Chains A and B, each alone.
Chain A
Amino acid sequence: MKTHVLFNLFATFLLADGLNIEDSAGQFFSSGHTNNWAVLVCTSRFWFNYRHVANTLSVYRSVKRLGIPDSHIVLMLADDMACNHRNPKPATVFSHKNMELNVYGDDVEVDYRGYEVTVENFLRVLTGRLPPSTPRSKRLLSDDRSNILIYLTGHGGNGFLKFQDSEEISNVELADAFEQMWQKRRYNELLFIIDTCQGASMYERFYSPNLMALASSQVGEDSLSHQPDLAIGVHLMDRYTFYLLEFLEDIHPASKANMNDLFKVCPKSQCVSTPGHRTDLFLRDPGSVLITDFFGSVRKVEITTEAIDLTDPIKEVEERPANGDVHKEMHSYVDQLPVSEIIHQNGKLCATSTNKMSLCCFHGDVSECEMQLPRGLGVEGPP
């Protein structure tokens, strides 16, 4: 009897402990994502749009600091401000006047730059329909358990965003691209932040699930820039992203700040425009979504108790030279400017006598394109 009671007690204790583990495990996997990606796009060209590049780079800097590696960030900058000839301090992009913070840094990898930042490339990156020879760093290799952060900045209007002063992307196209991503299971949850004039119009048309969107201004309002720097001569940052950067500088990888704090960034008193957000398509409550779910890269670890058999260690194969060393051929360097060889190239004399010369062409059949040089070079040819 006693052993029976003891056994019951023991069983209940184990069960209670088991429940505790399940609870913490449940909390561990609450967000459902296993990896993080970020797509940061600056769509403006020309020196006076310095602030858009500074915006994108400051989000890049925060995202890198919180743990997302370069291989998981697709950074698209439509113009080069750091090494622009107008930049009085080359290789730097500042976000604050008096040059306090260089958001460009010393370790930056830009994946799409200059003319490569087009609407087509942006949509191809999102949907994954890239040409087969595209390198890995230019692809968004997300899966159905990826949380993606998409940040766009530039000049925009009611329902569109201007790319490089020559084309636009509309909110319908963007919504359709996200739907394609959803159908292809290319994201688990997606956070979309846009800092342009009338930014809220860009997320009006979204209809795919698990999307959360933030914009710096409502329809009919302009997003304003923060402050100019007299030494550099342009406005350095936009207001919304400036206060966003300030907010993110306080976040560290173990921070428990949630999305409701992010919605409060830059109220009307600081931003002049009214930032907006949209959470109706998002399945979880924004209060339970951590900032680091999108901005950071907190790796989840699964502990397993299975034993894995390792293969036998690979024995290094010693290279035996074949046939001994006797008959190895002598190599030599190539003559860099073999004048006589060049003149007698392809078996045909290119300079026969002092008066006649022929033009050597390099197609498959030399005879078909041999022609006489005209009078300018001292040749008597047929008129």
Chain B
Amino acid sequence: HYAAAQKQAEPAVLQPTPQPKDDFQEELVVRPLHSGDIYASFQFRTLWETDFMRGNKVSHYRLFPKSLGQVISKFSVRELHISFTQGYWRTMQWGQPYLPSPPGAELWVWFQDSVTDVDATWKELTNVLSGIFCASLNFIDSTNTVQPSASFKPLGIGNVTDHRFLRYATLPREIVCTENLTPWKKLLPCGSKAGLAVLLKSEKLFHSSFHSQAVHIRPVCQDWQCKTTSWELRQTLNVVFDLHNSGQGKREWSLFKMFSRTLTEACPLASSSKIYIDITDNPEQFELSPATSLLSQAMVLGDRRTFSVYDLTQQDTFGSVRSLNLLIRWKSTEGDMLRPLLHAERYVAGYGLQTGEIHTLMYNHHPYRSFPVLLLDSVPWYLRLYIHTLTVTSKGKDNKPSYIHYQPSKDRVRPHLLEMLVQLPPNSVTEVTVQFERALLKWTEYTPDPNHGFYVGSSVISSLVPSTVAMDTNSTRERPLFSSFFPCKEESSYFVRVYTEPLLVNLPTPDFSMPYNVICLTCTVVAVGYGSLYNLLTRSFQIEEPSPGLAKRIANVIRKMRGVPPL
């Protein structure tokens, strides 16, 4: 025992404790909207300088969640973006979101070059993620997966972009509820016990106009030279609280009113924990309490915004009551919202259950600049698109796309994929229309509630929109998380992704009780017809005396005894 104790003492003396190479930051941005609603965006970022792709497996996890680390190393993932959204983002009323996401579930993954069978790896990855996030991601298969050829370039660092390693899928029908939030919260280093995550209570978060939670994993630059890379895990949660539903009609918001909790401390494992309140729009029109002297400016979404900052790592932020409950009270409701420059809508036109037409409208609200947009449309195979009817018009005239990539669908194997690079003229509406025909599915392919309809996933419009201020291209300067999500390569424009509404179409639905009806009817006809024929052929008639009543029978017995013929 003494020898063993000696052995155990040695390593502690020899090796010094290594510097931790991981870092955790948390942030909350609150933006009051012109309609009286309020937009809150949480971002939790873990940076870790490690190499998942090396031979010896990573085994010591500190801040980075082990389940995601194992997913990255097992499936050779280069980038992973998954989002769960409930509700639709109303761009015209709320402006642009910091992190866009389509309704339902969306998953897109870039695999490493070393993967030999991308489709098989994709299938296994979706199954594993469905277990981690308690979602039905296992419904992602070849019928709703596409391989975009120009959209969805990697958001992390990388030199080669061979689109063979990219897969994109959406499940517009996917429901988001507490069972998705629970495992998401468990991925955070502090869980939901300390820091900003204590505000994430499902009863308030799901009682909102828009709720979106996402996980983004990508490799990023560690320093300005970008010679070392580290893995970045961002967990984001965007929520828009409605003025009337959650706000009781009063233009007065506080952390307690939004989340039914107040903050008492920052996450002890976080190196930075801040709250930003956007006060650019009307600095005199609402009052903010408790007051703070920290101000910060950031270039985000093509605009210079001013924010009041609350630093939760400083004890005096919490004041004497040891709890922080921010209060934002409007004093007047004047002022116009800056119109977002890019906006899109989509709808189905037509009548009946045979044909229809998909219309996608893209609005460019810039007064004098035109810019290109990349439109990605993935339509399920049961809407058979007639690509010869595809028209793109702007201001009444034909607008030829400078790039089109179309992959036709294959029944029950592949969906349609249409990608177009369209130049939007200034101050105009561009309309893309295509006709389709609805297919009749096999009766086993219908969902248990087919009369609800079938969903078509959102169109994705990616674009470099001209910005009014010079954007910050220095990617490693200390910036708030919400402004550093999309990498910025040039100062005059910023990258934006807009999602349209998903479509709900009715397919010709059979009456599922018909097999039962047909069997009953056929059996009745056969029974009546065959039975009647059989009776006609084989029935013979015999005359039979009816049996006499009791009195008559007794009389007959007495008559027999007397020797007289019966009655």
Contacts and interface: CB of A to CB of B under 8 A. Distances in A.
B310 to A, nearest CB: 26
B286 interface: no
Contacts of A376: 388-391
A337 B372 contact: yes
Interface in A70-103: 80, 82-83, 89-92
Interface of B: 7-8, 11, 15, 18, 86, 123-124, 127-128, 130-132, 134-136, 138-139, 147, 149-150, 153-159, 161, 163, 173, 175-179, 182-183, 201-203, 205-207, 221, 225-229, 372, 374, 388-392, 398, 400-407, 421, 447-449, 462-464, 475, 486-487, 489, 495, 512
Interface residues of A, number: 64
A315 interface: yes
B178 A91 contact: yes
B512 A166 contact: yes
B390 A377 contact: yes
B1 to A, nearest CB: 10
B15 A342 contact: no
Interface string A349-370: 0110000010111100000000
Contacts of A333: 155-157, 221, 475, 487, 489
Contact of A336 (B139, B207, B401, B495): B495
Interface string A108-128: 111101111000000000000
B462 A362 contact: no
Most buried by B among A89, A110, A342: A342
Given A91-B203, A334-B158, A342 B175 contact: no
B8 A357 contact: no
Interface stretch (A268-276, A277-285, A292-300, A324-332): A324-332
Most buried by B among A105, A133, A312: A133
A135 B392 CA distance: 45
A316 interface: yes
A318 B389 CA distance: 64
A330 B404 contact: no
A313 B11 contact: yes
A351 B405 CA distance: 12
Given A115-B448, A134-B127, A337-B464, A359 B404 contact: yes
Given A332-B159, A332-B226, A333-B475, A91 B207 contact: yes
Nearest to B463: A337
Contact of B177 (A83, A107, A336): A83
A136 interface: yes
Nearest to A110: B179
B226 A330 contact: yes
Q: When A and B form their complex, which 10 residue pairs have the shortest distance between CB atoms, in order from nearest?
A: A135-B131, A333-B487, A83-B177, A91-B206, A133-B127, A164-B448, A110-B179, A331-B157, A90-B206, A166-B448
A12 interface: no
17 contacts: A80-B175, A91-B207, A104-B178, A109-B182, A110-B179, A113-B136, A115-B447, A134-B127, A332-B157, A332-B226, A337-B374, A339-B421, A362-B147, A374-B388, A376-B388, A377-B392, A378-B400
A128 B99 CA distance: 41
A47 B391 CA distance: 42
A106 interface: yes
B406 A133 contact: no
A65 B206 CA distance: 25
Nearest to A312: B7
A342 B206 contact: no
Contact of B150 (A345, A373, A374): A345
